[in-house]
Each structure stands twice: as C-alpha cells, then as structure tokens.
Chain A
Amino acid sequence: MTEKLWVTSLTVCLILLLSAWHLSQGSADIDWLAVTELQRTIIWDIRLPRWLLAVVNGIALGLSGAALQLLLRNPLAEPGLIGVSSMSALFTVTVLYFGWAAASSWFLPLLALVGGLSGLLLVVLMAGRTYDIHRVILAGVAVSSLAAAAMGLILYLAPNPFAFQEWSLWTLGSLANRSWPQLYLVLPVVVVGIALLAFWRQLLTALTLSENTVASMGFKLVSQRNGILLAVATMVSGSVVSVGIIGFIGLLAPHTVRLLGVQHPQKVLWYSAPAGALLLLAMDILTRLISGPRELPIGIVSALVGAPLLIALLFRQQHARKLTG
C-alpha cells in the first residue's frame, strides 16, 4: 500500500470513528433512528456546531503548528511561540472587561483579529529586515510575555471578581457553550489563512535546505517569511476568538504525521490539518469523559496530555542527536 493511500485511509477511518463518538456525547440520550424535534434541536444547535468547531479549529491549529515548525526549522515550534494567540487573547479580554462587546457583534472578533495581527506586526518589526529565525523566536517570546503581563495587570486592577473567570475562559480555551455564530467567525478567517499558506507554501519545502541556498534559488526570504507568518496569525487569531487559546494541538499535529513516517514538508504541512482535527476531537471527547458536572476547559486537558508528550519528544530528539553524533 502506498504511503498516501495508507495515511488517507487511516485518517478517514479515524475521523469517521471519532466524529460518531463526538456527536453521540452529551447529557441527552439521542435515539438516532427516531429523532424527536427536541433531539433535532440538540443535534443541530449544540452537537453539530461543537463538532464543526473542533474540526475547523483543529485544522487551523494543525496547519499553523506545521507551518511554524517548517518555517522556523524547529520541530518544537507551535502557534503560541510567535505571540499572536496571547495578543489576540489580550484584546479579547480587554474588550470583554470594558464591556465593549455589546457595541456590535463584530466588535469582539474584529478586535481579536486586530490583536493577533498587531502581535505579528510587533514580531516582524522586532525581527527586522534580516532573515534570522532566532530573532523571530525571541521576538515572539517577548510579545507573548508582554501580552501575558498586560493581561495580568488588567486582572490585578479589576474591580470585578468575575474578571478572572473571563480571563480563564480565553486563555484555557473551551468548546462548551459555542454554536453557529462562533463557527461563522472562525470559518472565513481560517479559509483566508489556508489560501495565504497555499500561496507561499513552496518556501516551506525549500527551507529543508540552508537559508543561503534558499535565497540563491530565487526565494525572497524576508517577504515570504512574513507572508507565512501572516497566514499563521490569521488562522490563530480566528481560532482564539472562537474557542480561546488551545495549546499543544499545533505542536502535536505535525509530530503525529511524522510518527507515521511522513517527512516531506508539503505532506507534513497538509496532513497536519486532519491530524489537528483528529487531535482536537479526541481532546474534546476526553475532556467530556473526565469532566464532572462542570466541564473542564479543553486547554487544561490538552496541556495535561500534551506536556508529557512534549517531554517525550525532547528526550527522543536528544536520543536521535546522540545516535547521529
């Protein structure tokens, strides 16, 4: 069986299996052979949008993680690294905190997108006109820390005791209590992000080789790097505004693909989309399985599962380095 057929068959089977499991989960029992009007409403307004949100956000995070790992030539890169999600969350929390969200239904998503893109702008300005991936990483860490500090300050000064709840809602991520409006927010933004990524995708393959080689091959490194960062920032901002910050999916999706023996950058990139969707569906199923009456934020579950996996990856990388000398 060819690699493509084997990976596609496995992905389709797993998506069908996990989707069926995901859609059947919930407090209400559903008789799928004789659906009542109430059950139809539960499926249509609660379960289906939640399933779609998991799939779309998983795709966005999987693609973003893979694109960043390929761009930064670092297998431990993930969307949180470039400061976009933190800035997007900061703007979201600020809007909610000051009660500006009531002004217009588009105000919150628009400002979250502006937050994410301004985070990207800061990173790009700090990285400068030279192509130095270490500067991008350091700039991303600086912007993330700045956004986290600003969020902490807002909470510290908050007269409202419920401010912390709002903060945790966005920084720990959740698929609960979401419906079609959140899906309408994230879907177009993710589609734009995917289109941008497809446009600049070849740089990611070329970056298998050294930066000097890639520049000599006719690639405009700085502008194309910024284009890919824009694609990632767009997708991550869309994801944060719909479900908050969900960590580790972007890190784990490309590694799951590589564990199947896939190494070519383009394949790792595009296979990371279904891998991200599968991982987020699995995390959401797990979240609901282990939650009591009050549902845990999915970000906590993904960190609980993802952090040990990250440690395992670090040890694996160290072991591989020892073997190759």
Chain B
Amino acid sequence: MSESGGPDVTQELRLPWDDDPEDLYEHAPCGYLTTLPDGTIVRVNETFLTWTGHARADLIGHRRFRDLLTAGDQIFHETHYAPLLAMQGEVHEIALEVVGADGRRLPTLVNSVLERGPGGAPRIIRTMVFNASERRSYERELLAARRAAESSEQRVRVLQQIVADLAAAPTEAEVAEAVVRAPEPAFQATSTSIYLFDAEGDQLVAVASTDPTTGNWDDMPRSSTRAVAEVARRGDLHVIGSVAEAEAHFPDLAESMRRSERGTVVLLPLTTGPADDQGGPVVLGVLAFSFRDERALTDGELRVIRLLGQQAGQALDRARLYDDARRREERSSFLARTTRALDEEHRLLQRARRLVERVVPEIADWALVRLQVGPAGLVEHHGGPAPDPARIEARTSEAIETAAPVFATDGDGLGCTVLPLIVRGRVLGTLALRMAPDRRGGRAEQMFLVDLADRAALACENARLYEQERAIARTLQRSLLAADVPGADPRFVVETHYQAAAQDMEVGGDWYDAFLITANKLAVVVGDVVGRGIEAATTMGQLRSAIRALASAENGPARLLEGLDRFCDRVDSARMATVVYVEVDLLSSEMAFACAGHLPPLLHEPAGSPQYLLQGRSAPLGSRAGDVRRVEHRLRPAPGSRLLLYTDGLIERRSRGIDRGFEILAREYARRRDAPLKGLTAGLADTLVGRDHADDVCLLCLTLGAEERLERSIGADPLQIALLRADMRGWLAGHGVDPDCLNAVLLACSEAVANSIEHGYDDDPFGVVDVTATISADAVEIRVADRGRWRGEDAETAHGRGLQLIYQSMDEVAFDRAGEGTTVIMRRHRGAP
C-alpha cells in the first residue's frame, strides 16, 4: 500500500526475472507437450508450435506425439521410447526428429515424465522438447569426418598392400600386374589399364587391364596424339572429369568413354621421381583408370594417386634394372661359356663350327661365320632358313669395308646383324646372325654382340696362328724327312715310310735319316724327340744335323752318342730324345749300332726268323738318371738281310701291351720276307697301326747286299709287277749284272708274271705268283710259278707278243705244266745274248 495515494507500485512492480508462469510456459526456450497416456496431445506451448509451424488447434485433441515424428522415429518411439517410459516413468535425451507442418525435419532431444494417478494408473505424460539442430549437424560432421578417415585409412591400407606387392615384384610384368589392381579397391574405380614404354622408350605398349574390352588396346608411338601418349609426354596427372571435358582436350578418349560408358577417367603417369639428369621425372608408363559416374576426387585422393604413380614408377624402374642385370648376367655367362667352348678346339675349322653351334639356337636362329683365310676362305653356318644370299652379301661387304657392325633394324627386310671379326685392326672375317626381334636393338644388346665378335675374332685368330704354326712344323718336318736317301748303290737299299697322326695332332718329333759317311760307309738313323709341334720339329732338325756332323769314319756309334749327350747340354729340347744309330761298312758288310733309349732294331737274315737286337743299349740322350755310358754292338749279317728301324707309334697301342706289339711286328715282318722291299714299310705301318692312329709313325728298312737267291711271292695284281721289278733290278745290279742283260731279264720276268696273272689266274686277285731268281757266274735263271689254269692257246693269239718277247730276250725258255699250274723257267747268259 502507498500513503501518497499513488498506485501501489509494489503491487505492480515485477522484477525482470520474476516471470509470469504462463508466459514462461508458453515461451520457454524449449517445447512443452502434455499428452494423455496414449499420446494424444492435450496441451502444447508456443515455442513448440513456432518451431514446427503447427497450429495449436490442429494438435490439441487431434494428434498424438508420435504422429509428429519421422517414419523411422515413429518405429523407435513404439519400440524404445514408449516401453521405456512405461517402465521407468521417465526417459531422457531421446533423439527424435519432428516433422514440421511444411515437412521440414527438426532434430530434437526429448525428455518425458509419466504422471500417475493416486491408484498408480498413468494419468498424463509431460514432454520437454529441445531443439537439437546444431548438435545434429555437428554430429553429422563428426560422422562424415570419421567416415572420411575410415575410407582414407582403407585407401592407405590398399596402397600399403600395393607398395608391398610392388616391392616383391621382380619383373616388369609383375609390377604392372600389381599396379593395375590398385585403383579399384583404393578409389572404387570401375576398371584400370596400364601402358608401359618399351625398352627403347619409343613405343607405349598396353600390357595389362582389368577390363580389356574398354579403351583403345593398340600400342602407340611416343609421339601419338592419343590421350595416354599425351599424358605420358607431359608427365602430369590428368583427371578428365566428364565426357564433355574429354571432348575438349582428348577426342579419342571422349569416344572411348562414351563407348564404354565412363564418366570420369584418371590418367596417371608412372614416374621414377626426379632422378634423371636432364631434369624432370622419367615417365615409364601410364596407369589409366575410370569411373562409371562422374566422380570428383578430393585433394587427399589426388595426393594418394600421385604417390601411387611414383611408387609404381620406382618399382618399374627397379624391375627394369633388375631385368637389365639379369640379362647382363646371362650375356656374360654366354660369353664365358662360348669362350670356353671355343678354347676346347684347336683347329680353325672346328672353332668356326663351334662358334655357330654356340650362337644357334641360344641367341640366334641362323648364324654364319666367314673367315678370310687361305685361297678359298672358310665358311661355316648353322640354323636356318638361310637369308637372301645377295642381301646378306651386301651387308657383309659393308661390315668389312667399314670395319664396323651392321645391326639389324626393324623393317630392314633381312633381320640379320653382321659383325666384323677384327684382330689387331685387321678384319679377319665376319659373323652374321639372325636374332629374334625382341633381342634386336638396345644399346646393351649391341655392346654384347660387339663383345661376342671380339672374343670370336680372337679365338679364330689364335686358331689361325695355330694352324700356321702347325703347317710350318709339318713343312719343316717333311722337308727334313724328304732329304735324299742314298740309292742307286747295288750294295744296299733303303726304304722309308712316314705317317702323320690321323687325328688332329700336332706334328711329332719322329724322324729317319740315311746318308753315306764315306763312299763305303753308310749310316741310318731313326729317332724320336720329346714333345710335339714346331719346337719338336726344330729340335729334330738340329739333332739330325748334329748326327750328320758327328758321324765320321773313325768315331763309331758309341762315340757319336757321347757327342749327342754333349749337344743336349746346349740344346735342352733334345734331352731325352731317343735314337737308334747304325753304321754299315759296305766293303766288309760289318754293322755297328747303338741304341739310346730307342726301341730295338729288328733284323731278318735270309735264313731264320726276325730277331730284335737288344745289344748296344743305353739311356736316352742327355739323360740324367739313366746310364749314359754309351756302348755299341757289332755284327756281320748275311747278304740280303733286312734291318728295320722304327718309332714307338708302330707298336704302341692303347688296346695292347708293348710285348704283344713286338710279337705282332716280328710276325708281320717275317710274313713279308718274300714281299718286294718297295712298299714293305708302308705295308707294315698299314697292318700294324691302320689309318686311325693317334701317333706319328716312322720306319726305315735297310736291305744289305744281294741275296744269293731272290725269292718273292706277289699277289696276282698287275700293280705288284712294278714292285717285284724294283727288287729284282736291285738284286741284279747288286750282283753286277750288266744293263742289257738286266733289262732283258726284267722284261722277260715281267712278261711271265703278267702272263700268269692274266691267263693263269684270269685276274683272280687271290692268286699268288712265286718268283725265284738265282745267279751264277755265267747265267741268271728265273722261275715264275702260278697255280692257275693254263690257257696256252689264248696266249698264242692275243698275247703272242708277250711270249715272243720272253723267247727273244732269254736264251732258254721252258714251260712246266706237270703239277698244279704252270712254271716258266727262263735262263739268260750274262754275256750278250
């Protein structure tokens, strides 16, 4: 009350925070709803109506609270909210979305309390509704952030897996395979392809794709206008967000996007990173992946994509280096194996053969080596089919003229590389190869071929030098052996034979020699120098000269060997050479010999069997361990004796012991007692060692004096008549028969033997004709006997001249057809007929 009579301001005065309860209810900062237990709204405040835009009249008594919720929240209301409220009597902070009058959704948080009546029955529900718009959008952001983090994490996981795969991929193909699998799990791409530059970096090759039906699957040159090549050249990541965008920049890509229904394409260059000297990363290929829909990529995704490009590029680079290293290793291994294989052969032809056989098929399908040696040159080829001869000829000439390799190029129509074989600046020849196209070109491959050519050239040159040395040694040896053996002396005949090793062996040091020391003293020698090749041939020549110089009328064999021992002190290569040296006094027929470690001479006297002369033996020349007290032996063999000197090649064979060799030699030698001397040594070599022998063979057979009686058996072969005649000529001369008589006897004897061969045996090669010649002071008598069928009537007509010659050249002629076959006995006086 106020005494001034003014209004009772205390009555009227309301403090600002002294809210009117009604107003507070209506305009509270939250919505209030009062509903019946079934949810029917019976009271609602203004705030709720303002938020939702509903009219009070539409709600009160008409709607239930749940009717205002979204469909999903209505279900939540039925399944959670209502039961919880019924059980607990209150619920708190239930998130529900309320649908406004205009359909807008209002995120809210709801608290409700259930009021019960005195009997405990539900009476009323009071609900407080908080506006949660801000909170929900914040929550959504949180959620989106979490999802982004999750997908980023997944991307990172995928990428980590890919990086691990890349690290484990040893080859380019495996790297490509791993990279092409990345974009689908990492970015949900629809399909992916990978293009890589070839070894030379000129060609982009499509190597793998998860869906090869999309895109242009042809290889393209680096300069192509296609999008992939364009991006590869630029080296930058390109995202083509839509067909329209592609249309503007890459028409080929737009076309392909339309065809395969793609909305977005990413072209990612695979780069090695900024390691290249020229600056800027080296592009090894392009990864292309696409999305069915138009897809915007976030900065984070783009960063990861770029990272993928670098990782893949580095893996490719590593795989290429690894491939290179492996190829380098293969090449150097091939070179090493080839060099070894060539070294196994010494001869030029065989080496050239080896070379082409190594090259084909390992690195080429056809190869030809041509060497400019000798008058005809040497050509060896392997594999096929051979290329066009005229064109390969032209290329070969070019390689020789320029002394530089001519490499095959794609589309040259020949596909052959020609490498000059150069040693010490000289073109020795060429090696032509046809290699598989994928081995052509490439700097490393060319270096490899040049290296191969260098090695081949050196191997061929060495073989050529070897051949040359071998030829020189052979020539030297031949020239020493061919020196004139004394002949035309009726007191002795020397027959020699030299046979070189059949296999590709260097010349040995075997030699023979025969010379007259004085008019009446003959020396014969057979020796064997240790070793082979040009040194052995040279030493042999020196020893041969030394023996000729040391031989004298007074010295004799033992003194000569002592001289040779001293010679070895100066010429060490002569040490351990073996020599058999024989001197014959042609007047007394006395023979002196000494054997320095050599095989014993084999003597066959006219009566008896062959004997090895085991006397006069001492150690090889210059021997330090052996007994070099030189001894000699003297003997006087009967006239007509044959002495055989030989080297070990004649009797030594791997398949039999040396004793057996001696045995066989003696037997074969005895068997040929009656064979003509001419051809005897060659025949022995033929029988004992055959054609396929591993060692040189040297023989010398000396016949001394004339036998009292010449006995020969020859095969029924016209060629044998000349051999018989040679023996008989020597025998007749040895007995001092004058030339007219000698010629007459030779003619008659030849005619008689020819008659036996032609008529007695009718040219049966197994027939044998025995010839015996005896001589006395006044006459020569020849008997020619065959065991064939005599057909004298033929002889009278067709070969009358032969018989006529026999009658005319001999003094007495008789035919004896008493036994088997026919014997002609012919006699001629030693004076003129």
Please say whether chains A and B are actual partners in one complex: no
Residues on A facing B (Cβ under 8 Å):
none
- Give residues in B with beta carbon < 8 Å to A: none
